[in-house]
Amino acid sequence: MLPRAVIFDLDGVLVDSEHLWDRIRRDVVAEHGGEWSEGTTETLMGMSTPEWARHLVDRLGVRLTPEQTAETVIERMAQHYAAGPPVIPHATDAVRTVARDHPTAIASSAPPRIIRRYLEATDLTGTIGHTVSSEEVGAGKPAPDVYLRAAQGLDIDPRECVAVEDSGNGLRAAAASGATVIAVPNPHFPPDPEALRQIHHVIDEISELPPLIRRLTSS
């Protein structure tokens, strides 16, 4: 099937925020009696808010409730976004270019309020046709739920969608949905080789996306 729609991840694809989430979570763990363990950063990538908040409490020993943990982390991230989200260079232009010819959506592990702040800051609210947070579905990435819901919101078969992702769990989720998967690996948080074997295309920068989409939809 030729792709008809494009679904974007947010963190690591459109905004350079993976390091912010990581730093804030580490700070909250340290401030509230927990201890960060090796491999936690990779484990948390793609999890929904309830999932990673429970992980910080149950596995790392944070002395807050999962709800308090989530609110503390998200409020600090929202403060960063209030000053302007760390948009990846050329990402907004890439979204606008792709959206001229294809329905677009965001399928993100970020909370809805963070997604909204990104859209408002980049003036993409009227450009992105649908957004889904993993908070709004049954399971976070690597489960495909968020991508399946995004495709449903666009009323397009997920097999006719392109998914743009950066993390290992995100790539697994996108592949499991049946979408054509394009990886934009984050050099600071690279996906594992096993996840990369499940995808169809790899690009170095988001600016390479529009011409690749044109080739895929005209082949």
**Domains, the chain:** 5-16+86-218 (3.40.50.1000), 18-82 (1.10.150.240)
Query: pLDDT tens across 13-64, in order?
Result: 999 999 999 999 999 999 999 999 999 998 998 899 999 999 999 999 999 9
Query: pLDDT tens across 184-202, in order?
Result: 998 888 898 999 998 999 9
pLDDT at 189: 85
What single letter denotes the amino acid at residue 19? H
Half-sphere exposure of residue 91: CA atoms within 13 angstroms, side-chain side: 24
What single letter denotes the amino acid at residue 183? A
Q: Please give the mean pLDDT across all residues of the chain.
A: 95
Query: Smallest Cα–Cα separation from 43: which of 27, 65, 58?
Result: 58
Query: pLDDT tens across 66-119, in order?
Result: 999 999 999 999 998 888 999 999 999 999 999 999 999 999 999 999 999 999
d(CA 155, CA 195): 27
